[in-house]
Amino acid sequence: MIAYVTLEEIERSLLHDKPRRRFIIPGVLPAGPCLLYGASGAGKTGIAIRTVLAASAGLQWADRSIEHGAVLYVCGEDIDGAKERLVAAARALGQEPGTLHVAVMPAPEAGIGKTESRHAITGAARELSRQSKLPVVLIVVDTLAACFGEKSQDDASAASEYMNSADRIARDLGCCVLSVHHTGKNEDAGMRGSRVFFDRADAVVKVKRGQDETSFLQVEKLRNGPDGARFAFTIGGDEIQIAGGPISVQVIRDLRALTDNTDSTADARDRRKQTIADQMLAALVRVGGATGASVEAWQTACYDLWSDKKSETKRKLFSKTKNQMQGDGLLTVEGENVTITVTGDAMVTPLVTQEPENVTVTVTNPLSVERGDSARATGPLPKQKGTDLSGKNPKYEEGIGKPTGFPPGCGTGGPTNDPARGDGDADGRLTDAA
Protein backbone atom coordinates (compact mmCIF):
# COMPACT_ATOMS: atom_id res chain seq x y z
CA MET A 1 0.00 0.00 0.00
CA ILE A 2 1.32 3.45 -0.98
CA ALA A 3 1.23 5.94 1.88
CA TYR A 4 -0.31 9.35 1.33
CA VAL A 5 -0.21 12.64 3.21
CA THR A 6 -3.04 15.13 3.58
CA LEU A 7 -2.85 18.82 2.77
CA GLU A 8 -3.34 19.58 6.47
CA GLU A 9 -0.26 17.55 7.33
CA ILE A 10 1.71 19.19 4.53
CA GLU A 11 0.86 22.66 5.82
CA ARG A 12 1.78 21.74 9.37
CA SER A 13 5.12 20.38 8.18
CA LEU A 14 5.88 23.50 6.16
CA LEU A 15 5.12 25.74 9.12
CA HIS A 16 6.82 23.82 11.91
CA ASP A 17 9.38 21.33 10.58
CA LYS A 18 12.98 22.17 9.73
CA PRO A 19 13.04 23.81 6.26
CA ARG A 20 14.45 21.60 3.53
CA ARG A 21 17.64 22.64 1.80
CA ARG A 22 16.66 24.29 -1.48
CA PHE A 23 19.92 25.56 -2.97
CA ILE A 24 23.60 24.70 -2.72
CA ILE A 25 24.45 27.78 -4.79
CA PRO A 26 21.52 30.24 -5.10
CA GLY A 27 20.41 30.65 -8.69
CA VAL A 28 22.87 28.01 -9.93
CA LEU A 29 22.69 24.62 -8.20
CA PRO A 30 19.58 23.51 -6.28
CA ALA A 31 19.41 20.48 -4.02
CA GLY A 32 18.52 17.81 -6.57
CA PRO A 33 19.90 16.16 -9.72
CA CYS A 34 21.93 18.67 -11.76
CA LEU A 35 24.11 18.57 -14.87
CA LEU A 36 27.32 20.42 -15.70
CA TYR A 37 28.31 19.87 -19.32
CA GLY A 38 30.69 21.13 -21.96
CA ALA A 39 33.19 20.10 -24.61
CA SER A 40 36.53 18.49 -23.80
CA GLY A 41 38.99 21.08 -22.55
CA ALA A 42 36.28 23.60 -21.62
CA GLY A 43 37.03 23.29 -17.89
CA LYS A 44 33.97 21.45 -16.59
CA THR A 45 35.90 19.14 -14.25
CA GLY A 46 37.86 22.16 -13.02
CA ILE A 47 34.61 23.97 -12.21
CA ALA A 48 33.26 20.86 -10.46
CA ILE A 49 36.42 20.69 -8.31
CA ARG A 50 36.24 24.43 -7.60
CA THR A 51 32.65 23.93 -6.42
CA VAL A 52 33.65 20.96 -4.24
CA LEU A 53 36.26 23.04 -2.44
CA ALA A 54 34.04 26.09 -2.02
CA ALA A 55 31.34 23.96 -0.39
CA SER A 56 33.73 22.09 1.89
CA ALA A 57 35.58 25.25 2.97
CA GLY A 58 32.53 27.53 3.11
CA LEU A 59 33.99 29.94 0.52
CA GLN A 60 32.23 32.27 -1.88
CA TRP A 61 31.41 30.85 -5.32
CA ALA A 62 31.82 33.79 -7.71
CA ASP A 63 29.53 36.42 -6.14
CA ARG A 64 27.40 33.94 -4.19
CA SER A 65 27.43 32.20 -0.86
CA ILE A 66 27.50 28.42 -1.02
CA GLU A 67 26.03 25.90 1.40
CA HIS A 68 28.78 24.65 3.71
CA GLY A 69 29.14 20.93 4.30
CA ALA A 70 30.92 17.71 3.39
CA VAL A 71 31.36 16.65 -0.25
CA LEU A 72 31.65 13.23 -1.90
CA TYR A 73 33.46 12.99 -5.25
CA VAL A 74 32.46 9.90 -7.26
CA CYS A 75 35.13 9.36 -9.90
CA GLY A 76 34.54 7.17 -12.93
CA GLU A 77 37.87 7.83 -14.68
CA ASP A 78 41.40 8.96 -13.84
CA ILE A 79 40.82 8.87 -10.09
CA ASP A 80 44.51 9.56 -9.38
CA GLY A 81 44.39 12.70 -11.52
CA ALA A 82 41.25 13.85 -9.70
CA LYS A 83 42.99 13.45 -6.34
CA GLU A 84 45.95 15.54 -7.53
CA ARG A 85 43.69 18.27 -8.86
CA LEU A 86 41.70 18.46 -5.62
CA VAL A 87 44.89 18.96 -3.60
CA ALA A 88 46.29 21.54 -6.04
CA ALA A 89 43.01 23.47 -6.20
CA ALA A 90 42.73 23.51 -2.39
CA ARG A 91 46.20 24.99 -2.07
CA ALA A 92 45.50 27.50 -4.84
CA LEU A 93 42.55 28.73 -2.74
CA GLY A 94 44.74 29.04 0.35
CA GLN A 95 43.20 26.01 2.04
CA GLU A 96 44.94 23.17 3.85
CA PRO A 97 43.66 19.98 2.16
CA GLY A 98 43.72 17.99 5.40
CA THR A 99 41.17 20.30 7.02
CA LEU A 100 38.54 19.91 4.29
CA HIS A 101 35.80 17.29 4.53
CA VAL A 102 36.06 15.92 1.00
CA ALA A 103 36.11 12.21 0.16
CA VAL A 104 36.82 10.51 -3.18
CA MET A 105 35.38 7.14 -4.15
CA PRO A 106 35.50 5.08 -7.37
CA ALA A 107 32.25 4.83 -9.28
CA PRO A 108 30.28 1.59 -8.82
CA GLU A 109 30.95 -0.65 -11.83
CA ALA A 110 27.28 -1.48 -12.44
CA GLY A 111 26.42 2.16 -13.14
CA ILE A 112 24.67 4.69 -10.96
CA GLY A 113 21.27 3.75 -12.34
CA LYS A 114 21.39 0.43 -10.47
CA THR A 115 19.88 0.10 -6.99
CA GLU A 116 23.04 -1.41 -5.47
CA SER A 117 25.10 1.49 -6.83
CA ARG A 118 22.71 4.03 -5.35
CA HIS A 119 22.94 2.30 -1.97
CA ALA A 120 26.75 2.28 -2.17
CA ILE A 121 26.92 6.02 -2.83
CA THR A 122 24.30 6.89 -0.23
CA GLY A 123 26.06 4.70 2.34
CA ALA A 124 29.43 6.34 1.66
CA ALA A 125 27.86 9.80 1.97
CA ARG A 126 26.21 8.94 5.30
CA GLU A 127 29.51 7.63 6.68
CA LEU A 128 31.28 10.81 5.54
CA SER A 129 28.62 12.88 7.27
CA ARG A 130 29.00 10.83 10.46
CA GLN A 131 32.78 11.25 10.53
CA SER A 132 32.79 14.95 9.65
CA LYS A 133 29.74 15.81 11.76
CA LEU A 134 28.53 17.85 8.78
CA PRO A 135 25.71 17.25 6.30
CA VAL A 136 26.75 16.13 2.83
CA VAL A 137 25.65 19.03 0.63
CA LEU A 138 27.17 17.98 -2.69
CA ILE A 139 27.95 14.76 -4.55
CA VAL A 140 29.89 15.13 -7.82
CA VAL A 141 29.72 12.35 -10.43
CA ASP A 142 32.62 12.67 -12.88
CA THR A 143 31.78 11.81 -15.58
CA LEU A 144 28.23 10.73 -16.35
CA ALA A 145 29.49 8.57 -19.24
CA ALA A 146 32.08 6.79 -17.10
CA CYS A 147 29.53 6.16 -14.33
CA PHE A 148 26.61 5.21 -16.56
CA GLY A 149 27.13 1.49 -16.94
CA GLU A 150 26.92 -0.69 -20.04
CA LYS A 151 23.74 0.74 -21.59
CA SER A 152 23.69 3.48 -24.20
CA GLN A 153 23.25 7.09 -23.11
CA ASP A 154 20.92 7.51 -26.09
CA ASP A 155 18.49 5.00 -24.54
CA ALA A 156 15.68 6.99 -22.89
CA SER A 157 14.87 4.19 -20.41
CA ALA A 158 18.53 3.88 -19.35
CA ALA A 159 18.79 7.66 -19.02
CA SER A 160 15.64 7.62 -16.87
CA GLU A 161 17.19 4.99 -14.60
CA TYR A 162 20.26 7.17 -14.12
CA MET A 163 18.27 10.34 -13.40
CA ASN A 164 15.85 8.48 -11.10
CA SER A 165 18.80 7.23 -9.06
CA ALA A 166 20.43 10.67 -8.93
CA ASP A 167 17.12 12.19 -7.83
CA ARG A 168 16.63 9.55 -5.13
CA ILE A 169 20.15 10.12 -3.75
CA ALA A 170 19.59 13.88 -3.72
CA ARG A 171 16.23 13.57 -1.91
CA ASP A 172 17.49 11.03 0.63
CA LEU A 173 20.44 13.24 1.58
CA GLY A 174 19.01 16.69 0.85
CA CYS A 175 21.98 17.47 -1.37
CA CYS A 176 22.91 18.34 -4.94
CA VAL A 177 24.01 15.46 -7.18
CA LEU A 178 26.07 17.15 -9.88
CA SER A 179 26.88 14.97 -12.91
CA VAL A 180 29.68 16.15 -15.20
CA HIS A 181 28.72 15.46 -18.82
CA HIS A 182 29.97 15.98 -22.38
CA THR A 183 28.51 17.71 -25.41
CA GLY A 184 27.68 15.76 -28.54
CA LYS A 185 29.62 15.92 -31.80
CA ASN A 186 28.26 19.40 -32.45
CA GLU A 187 28.99 21.49 -29.36
CA ASP A 188 26.18 23.97 -30.05
CA ALA A 189 23.61 21.16 -30.31
CA GLY A 190 23.67 20.49 -26.58
CA MET A 191 24.69 17.61 -24.36
CA ARG A 192 25.36 14.05 -25.44
CA GLY A 193 22.70 11.35 -25.19
CA SER A 194 18.99 11.23 -24.55
CA ARG A 195 16.82 14.30 -24.08
CA VAL A 196 15.78 12.74 -20.77
CA PHE A 197 18.95 14.04 -19.09
CA PHE A 198 17.99 17.66 -19.74
CA ASP A 199 14.30 17.20 -18.98
CA ARG A 200 14.82 15.44 -15.65
CA ALA A 201 17.57 17.70 -14.30
CA ASP A 202 16.70 20.39 -11.77
CA ALA A 203 19.50 22.55 -13.20
CA VAL A 204 21.67 22.44 -16.32
CA VAL A 205 24.86 24.50 -16.50
CA LYS A 206 26.92 24.75 -19.68
CA VAL A 207 30.67 25.37 -19.72
CA LYS A 208 32.12 26.89 -22.87
CA ARG A 209 35.71 27.62 -23.76
CA GLY A 210 36.41 31.11 -25.04
CA GLN A 211 38.69 32.16 -27.86
CA ASP A 212 41.29 33.46 -25.43
CA GLU A 213 42.15 32.42 -21.86
CA THR A 214 38.63 33.10 -20.56
CA SER A 215 35.94 30.41 -20.37
CA PHE A 216 32.28 30.83 -19.55
CA LEU A 217 29.42 29.28 -17.59
CA GLN A 218 25.72 29.75 -18.17
CA VAL A 219 22.72 28.36 -16.30
CA GLU A 220 20.61 27.00 -19.16
CA LYS A 221 17.86 25.57 -16.97
CA LEU A 222 16.80 26.09 -13.38
CA ARG A 223 13.65 24.39 -12.15
CA ASN A 224 11.51 26.65 -9.95
CA GLY A 225 13.70 29.68 -10.54
CA PRO A 226 15.02 32.08 -13.20
CA ASP A 227 17.80 30.73 -15.39
CA GLY A 228 20.34 32.65 -17.46
CA ALA A 229 22.96 33.50 -14.82
CA ARG A 230 26.41 33.80 -16.45
CA PHE A 231 29.93 33.50 -15.10
CA ALA A 232 33.48 33.63 -16.42
CA PHE A 233 36.75 32.06 -15.28
CA THR A 234 40.28 31.35 -16.43
CA ILE A 235 42.22 28.09 -16.43
CA GLY A 236 45.81 28.00 -15.25
CA GLY A 237 48.38 25.64 -13.83
CA ASP A 238 49.52 25.20 -10.25
CA GLU A 239 52.54 23.21 -9.13
CA ILE A 240 52.32 20.74 -6.27
CA GLN A 241 54.95 18.55 -4.65
CA ILE A 242 54.41 14.80 -4.61
CA ALA A 243 56.71 11.91 -3.72
CA GLY A 244 58.05 11.69 -7.28
CA GLY A 245 58.75 15.41 -7.57
CA PRO A 246 56.77 18.53 -8.51
CA ILE A 247 53.94 18.33 -11.04
CA SER A 248 51.80 21.04 -12.65
CA VAL A 249 48.04 20.58 -12.36
CA GLN A 250 45.13 22.46 -13.92
CA VAL A 251 43.19 24.81 -11.62
CA ILE A 252 40.38 27.34 -11.99
CA ARG A 253 41.13 31.00 -11.31
CA ASP A 254 39.15 34.24 -11.15
CA LEU A 255 35.64 32.77 -11.11
CA ARG A 256 33.33 35.77 -11.40
CA ALA A 257 29.74 36.71 -12.23
CA LEU A 258 28.86 38.51 -15.45
CA THR A 259 26.20 41.18 -15.77
CA ASP A 260 23.92 41.74 -18.75
CA ASN A 261 26.21 44.50 -19.98
CA THR A 262 29.46 42.57 -19.68
CA ASP A 263 31.28 42.13 -22.99
CA SER A 264 28.09 42.85 -24.91
CA THR A 265 29.76 43.37 -28.30
CA ALA A 266 31.30 39.91 -28.58
CA ASP A 267 28.22 38.39 -26.95
CA ALA A 268 26.04 39.79 -29.74
CA ARG A 269 28.52 38.60 -32.36
CA ASP A 270 28.34 35.05 -31.01
CA ARG A 271 24.54 35.09 -31.02
CA ARG A 272 24.52 36.51 -34.55
CA LYS A 273 26.73 33.67 -35.78
CA GLN A 274 24.26 31.13 -34.43
CA THR A 275 21.30 33.03 -35.90
CA ILE A 276 22.78 32.91 -39.43
CA ALA A 277 23.15 29.13 -39.21
CA ASP A 278 19.58 28.85 -37.88
CA GLN A 279 18.29 30.95 -40.76
CA MET A 280 20.12 28.85 -43.33
CA LEU A 281 18.80 25.60 -41.85
CA ALA A 282 15.28 27.02 -41.85
CA ALA A 283 15.59 28.11 -45.48
CA LEU A 284 16.77 24.63 -46.46
CA VAL A 285 13.80 23.03 -44.65
CA ARG A 286 11.43 25.42 -46.43
CA VAL A 287 12.72 24.86 -49.96
CA GLY A 288 13.64 21.18 -49.69
CA GLY A 289 11.92 19.41 -46.81
CA ALA A 290 12.85 15.74 -46.38
CA THR A 291 14.21 15.21 -49.90
CA GLY A 292 16.64 18.10 -49.76
CA ALA A 293 17.14 20.81 -52.36
CA SER A 294 19.67 21.97 -54.87
CA VAL A 295 22.48 24.09 -53.49
CA GLU A 296 21.47 26.83 -55.95
CA ALA A 297 17.85 26.93 -54.72
CA TRP A 298 19.02 26.97 -51.11
CA GLN A 299 21.50 29.74 -51.85
CA THR A 300 18.82 31.82 -53.54
CA ALA A 301 16.49 31.39 -50.54
CA CYS A 302 19.25 32.50 -48.17
CA TYR A 303 20.17 35.50 -50.36
CA ASP A 304 16.53 36.59 -50.28
CA LEU A 305 16.74 36.73 -46.47
CA TRP A 306 19.81 38.97 -46.58
CA SER A 307 18.45 41.75 -48.75
CA ASP A 308 20.32 44.32 -46.67
CA LYS A 309 23.73 42.79 -47.47
CA LYS A 310 25.99 43.32 -50.45
CA SER A 311 26.33 40.54 -53.03
CA GLU A 312 29.92 39.71 -52.09
CA THR A 313 29.01 39.64 -48.39
CA LYS A 314 26.15 37.24 -49.13
CA ARG A 315 28.43 34.94 -51.13
CA LYS A 316 31.11 34.78 -48.41
CA LEU A 317 28.58 34.37 -45.61
CA PHE A 318 26.77 31.55 -47.39
CA SER A 319 29.95 29.70 -48.33
CA LYS A 320 31.59 30.01 -44.92
CA THR A 321 28.49 28.99 -42.92
CA LYS A 322 27.64 26.12 -45.31
CA ASN A 323 31.14 24.68 -44.92
CA GLN A 324 30.96 25.05 -41.14
CA MET A 325 27.56 23.32 -40.98
CA GLN A 326 28.77 20.53 -43.23
CA GLY A 327 31.84 20.05 -41.05
CA ASP A 328 29.66 19.91 -37.95
CA GLY A 329 27.54 17.16 -39.52
CA LEU A 330 24.37 19.27 -39.72
CA LEU A 331 23.95 18.74 -43.45
CA THR A 332 25.14 16.55 -46.31
CA VAL A 333 26.14 17.84 -49.76
CA GLU A 334 26.14 15.32 -52.60
CA GLY A 335 26.89 16.89 -55.96
CA GLU A 336 24.39 19.70 -56.43
CA ASN A 337 21.97 18.42 -53.76
CA VAL A 338 21.96 19.22 -50.04
CA THR A 339 20.00 17.53 -47.22
CA ILE A 340 19.72 18.12 -43.47
CA THR A 341 21.24 15.68 -41.01
CA VAL A 342 20.32 16.42 -37.39
CA THR A 343 22.63 14.74 -34.87
CA GLY A 344 21.15 13.28 -31.66
CA ASP A 345 18.99 15.81 -29.86
CA ALA A 346 20.10 18.77 -31.96
CA MET A 347 17.32 21.17 -32.77
CA VAL A 348 16.58 22.83 -36.09
CA THR A 349 15.31 26.34 -35.38
CA PRO A 350 13.78 27.78 -38.55
CA LEU A 351 13.40 31.45 -37.74
CA VAL A 352 12.18 32.41 -41.19
CA THR A 353 9.33 30.01 -42.10
CA GLN A 354 6.13 31.97 -41.67
CA GLU A 355 3.53 29.18 -41.55
CA PRO A 356 3.62 25.91 -39.62
CA GLU A 357 4.54 22.91 -41.68
CA ASN A 358 5.23 19.25 -40.99
CA VAL A 359 8.79 18.49 -41.97
CA THR A 360 10.48 15.13 -42.37
CA VAL A 361 14.23 15.09 -41.97
CA THR A 362 16.90 12.43 -41.69
CA VAL A 363 18.06 11.86 -38.12
CA THR A 364 21.39 10.20 -37.44
CA ASN A 365 21.92 8.99 -33.88
CA PRO A 366 25.38 9.89 -32.56
CA LEU A 367 28.00 7.20 -32.12
CA SER A 368 27.68 5.57 -28.75
CA VAL A 369 30.85 5.21 -26.73
CA GLU A 370 29.57 1.98 -25.30
CA ARG A 371 28.15 0.43 -28.49
CA GLY A 372 30.10 2.09 -31.27
CA ASP A 373 27.05 1.79 -33.52
CA SER A 374 25.27 4.21 -35.78
CA ALA A 375 21.54 3.87 -36.40
CA ARG A 376 19.79 5.78 -39.14
CA ALA A 377 16.07 6.42 -39.50
CA THR A 378 13.72 8.74 -41.30
CA GLY A 379 10.44 10.16 -40.12
CA PRO A 380 8.79 13.26 -38.76
CA LEU A 381 11.05 15.29 -36.53
CA PRO A 382 9.35 15.23 -33.10
CA LYS A 383 8.38 18.61 -31.79
CA GLN A 384 10.07 19.28 -28.45
CA LYS A 385 10.14 22.13 -26.03
CA GLY A 386 12.40 24.79 -27.42
CA THR A 387 11.96 23.46 -30.99
CA ASP A 388 9.94 25.60 -33.38
CA LEU A 389 9.54 24.40 -36.95
CA SER A 390 6.82 26.96 -37.56
CA GLY A 391 9.18 29.85 -38.06
CA LYS A 392 7.97 31.65 -34.97
CA ASN A 393 10.63 32.77 -32.57
CA PRO A 394 10.95 30.05 -29.89
CA LYS A 395 11.25 30.95 -26.24
CA TYR A 396 13.83 28.26 -25.59
CA GLU A 397 12.54 27.78 -22.05
CA GLU A 398 13.99 24.29 -21.76
CA GLY A 399 15.62 23.68 -25.11
CA ILE A 400 19.04 22.09 -25.35
CA GLY A 401 19.78 23.97 -28.51
CA LYS A 402 18.90 27.48 -27.40
CA PRO A 403 21.18 30.47 -28.11
CA THR A 404 23.79 30.58 -25.40
CA GLY A 405 23.99 34.26 -24.58
CA PHE A 406 27.65 33.72 -23.83
CA PRO A 407 29.88 36.78 -23.56
CA PRO A 408 32.79 37.83 -25.81
CA GLY A 409 35.59 35.60 -26.85
CA CYS A 410 33.38 32.58 -26.42
CA GLY A 411 34.52 30.44 -29.34
CA THR A 412 33.36 27.08 -30.60
CA GLY A 413 36.68 25.58 -31.60
CA GLY A 414 38.02 22.24 -30.49
CA PRO A 415 40.28 21.55 -27.54
CA THR A 416 43.18 23.90 -27.24
CA ASN A 417 46.78 22.88 -27.62
CA ASP A 418 47.83 25.31 -24.92
CA PRO A 419 49.43 23.13 -22.24
CA ALA A 420 48.25 25.49 -19.52
CA ARG A 421 44.67 24.45 -20.30
CA GLY A 422 45.22 20.73 -20.29
CA ASP A 423 44.17 18.22 -22.93
CA GLY A 424 40.83 17.29 -21.47
CA ASP A 425 38.66 17.38 -18.41
CA ALA A 426 39.31 13.99 -16.89
CA ASP A 427 43.06 14.41 -16.81
CA GLY A 428 43.94 17.81 -15.41
CA ARG A 429 47.68 17.12 -15.19
CA LEU A 430 49.69 19.44 -17.38
CA THR A 431 53.32 18.42 -17.59
CA ASP A 432 55.59 16.76 -15.09
CA ALA A 433 58.40 19.04 -14.07
CA ALA A 434 61.84 17.82 -14.86
The pLDDT tens digits for 78-90 are: 999 999 999 999 9
Tally Cβ neighbours within 10 Å of residue 306: 15
> Is 275 in the same domain as 152?
no
The better pLDDT of the pair 392, 299 is held by 299
Q: Is residue 56 part of a domain?
A: yes
Based on the fold, state whether residues 298 and 219 are members of the same structural domain. no
Asked whether residue 184 falls in the same domain as residue 50, the answer is: yes
DSSP, res 383: P
Same domain for 212 and 336, yes or no, is: no
Question: Which of 359, 380, 401 is at the close of a domain?
Answer: 380
User: Does residue 393 form part of some domain?
Assistant: no
Provide the domain limits for residue 100: 7-263+411-432
Question: Could you write out the DSSP letters of every residue in 134-163?
Answer: S-EEEEEEE-TTTTS-SS-TT-HHHHHHHH
Q: In this structure, are 233 and 309 located in the same domain?
A: no
Residue 99 gets which letter from DSSP?
G
Output the pLDDT for position 33: 98
Q: Note the pLDDT of residue 391.
A: 41
Expressed in angstroms, the distance from the first to the final Cα of the chain is: 66
Of residues 433 and 359, more confidently modeled: 359
Same domain, residue pair 57 and 200: yes
Among residues 360, 380, 400, the one where a domain terminates is 380
Q: Is 273 in the same domain as 417?
A: no
Measured in degrees and rounded to the nearest 5, phi and psi for residue 394 equal -70, 155
- Whether 47 and 90 map to the same domain: the answer is yes
Of 39, 296, 321, nearest to 189 (Cα)?
Answer: 39
Which of 139-143, 223-227, 406-410 shows the lowest per-residue confidence on average (mean pLDDT)? 406-410
Q: How far is CA 212 from CA 197, 226, 254, in A?
A: 30, 29, 14
Residues 259 and 276 in one domain: no
User: Is residue 406 situated within a structural domain?
Assistant: no
Helical residues (DSSP H) of 289-415, grouped into ranges:
295-305, 311-327
CATH number at residue 180: 3.40.50.300
Q: Are residues 14 and 62 in the same domain?
A: yes
239 and 288 assigned to the same domain? no
Percentage of the chain with pLDDT > 70? 75
Strand (E) or helix (H) holding 53: helix 44-57
Query: Domain for residue 116, yes or no?
Result: yes
**Tens digits of residue pLDDT in 356-380:** 444 444 444 444 444 334 343 444 4
* Total of domains in the chain: 2
Both 277 and 239 in one domain: the answer is no
Q: Any idea which of 80-94, 149-163, 173-187, 390-404 has the lowest mean pLDDT?
A: 390-404
Evaluate whether residue 1 is within a structural domain: no
